[in-house]
């Protein structure tokens, strides 16, 4: 796929996600979080392409958080953004030292680093008066997170295409939610983005996310339609066909009560009280 066709595909997928989740509205002031990786570069360029042709007006401000990692090339992003003519701001916060001090050697740093980075970006967003915070997570990130949560946290959830922060002050959007990672890699290669590798967490070996990534890449190689089917399944959730009693009222689903059994609706004791034992772990085979 050449550059022109690839950009058409990227903007088509991003525009669909933006439309489906009403990510961008007229007059939005959008913070584009730029890390120096292929995904955030791709996000900025796709939004710039859409900005030129969108039926609504919105402003883009690229923001990078300099976490004071050793060897971080401070000049790369400012020079790149200056050449593009994009408004930008570089934040400086030594989260690197915090992470290295708090976590023992060999411990996965991604979670703590992400929380610190998110806090810094949210504070800057409030100060700058932005209405949306755009992140570069793509389709494969959403799918990887789904399986990470299932396999290692026993919960069913992922990164939503659009969300409100816990404090209610910010709206986060992921315009690349429909975009396969391989498209962004191809785009980065064709555009020759000045990629800055992460030396904090991205270089750690044997991360669980890397294991999941290998799994879904194998699935993609086996059947190119499979990952899109997984994405579509996240958009077609049937709570009554899962098993979460907090999300669906299973208790109200009652059959006909036998004549010789106390009716639970009348307030009499449920005939199963005392008979149900806590679920135990399955014995080892």
Residue ranges of the binding site for [4Fe-4S] cluster: 110, 113, 201
How do beta strands 171-173 and 162-164 pair? antiparallel
| C-alpha distances in Å from residue 142, one per residue of 9, 19, 73, 162, 195 | 19, 18, 29, 12, 22
| C-alpha distances in Å from residue 211, one per residue of 103, 137, 148, 258 | 22, 18, 9, 51
Q: What are the b/e assignments for 237-265, b being 16+ CB within 10 Å?
A: eeeeeeeeeeeeeeeeeeeeeeeeeeeee
Q: 9: burial class by Cβ within 10 Å (0-12, 13-18, 19+)?
A: middle
What strand order describes the sheet that includes 28-33? 88-92, 58-66, 28-33, 132-134, 171-173, 162-164
Mark the binding-site residues, compressed into ranges: 110, 113, 201
Largest CA distance in the chain: 82
Q: Under a CB-based contact definition with an 8 Å cutoff, are residues 173 and 21 in contact?
A: yes
What's the CA gap between 128 and 130, in Å, rounded?
6
Q: How many CB atoms lie within 10 A of CB 275?
A: 7
Residue with tokens 């066709």: 5
First to last CA, the chain: 50
């Amino acid at each position: 796929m050449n550059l022109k066709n690839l950009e058409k595909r990227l903007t088509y997928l991003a525009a669909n996600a933006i439309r489906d989740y009403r990510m961008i509205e007229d007059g939005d002031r959008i913070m584009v979080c730029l890390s120096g990786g292929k995904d955030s570069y791709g996000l900025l360029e796709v939004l710039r392409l859409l900005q030129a042709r969108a039926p609504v007006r919105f402003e883009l401000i690229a923001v990078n958080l300099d976490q004071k990692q050793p060897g971080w090339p401070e000049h790369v992003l400012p020079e790149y953004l200056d050449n593009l003519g994009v408004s930008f701001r570089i934040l400086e916060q030594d989260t690197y030292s915090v992470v290295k001090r708090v976590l023992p050697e060999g411990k996965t740093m991604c979670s703590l680093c992400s929380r610190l980075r998110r806090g810094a970006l949210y504070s800057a967003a409030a100060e700058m008066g932005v209405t949306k915070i755009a992140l570069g997570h793509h389709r494969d990130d959403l799918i990887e997170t789904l399986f990470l949560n299932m396999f290692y946290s026993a919960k069913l959830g992922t990164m939503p295409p659009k969300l409100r922060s816990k404090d209610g002050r910010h709206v986060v959007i992921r315009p690349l939610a429909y975009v396969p990672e391989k498209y962004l890699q191809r785009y980065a290669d064709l555009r020759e983005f000045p990629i800055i590798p992460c030396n904090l967490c991205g270089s750690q070996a044997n991360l669980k996310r890397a294991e999941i990534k290998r799994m879904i890449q194998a699935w993609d190689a086996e059947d190119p339609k499979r990952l899109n089917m997984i994405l579509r399944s996240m958009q077609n959730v049937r709570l009554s066909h899962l098993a979460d009693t907090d999300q669906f009222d299973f208790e109200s689903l009652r059959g006909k009560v036998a004549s010789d059994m106390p009716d639970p609706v009348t307030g009499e004791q449920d005939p199963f009280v005392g008979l149900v034992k806590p679920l135990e772990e399955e014995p080892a085979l």
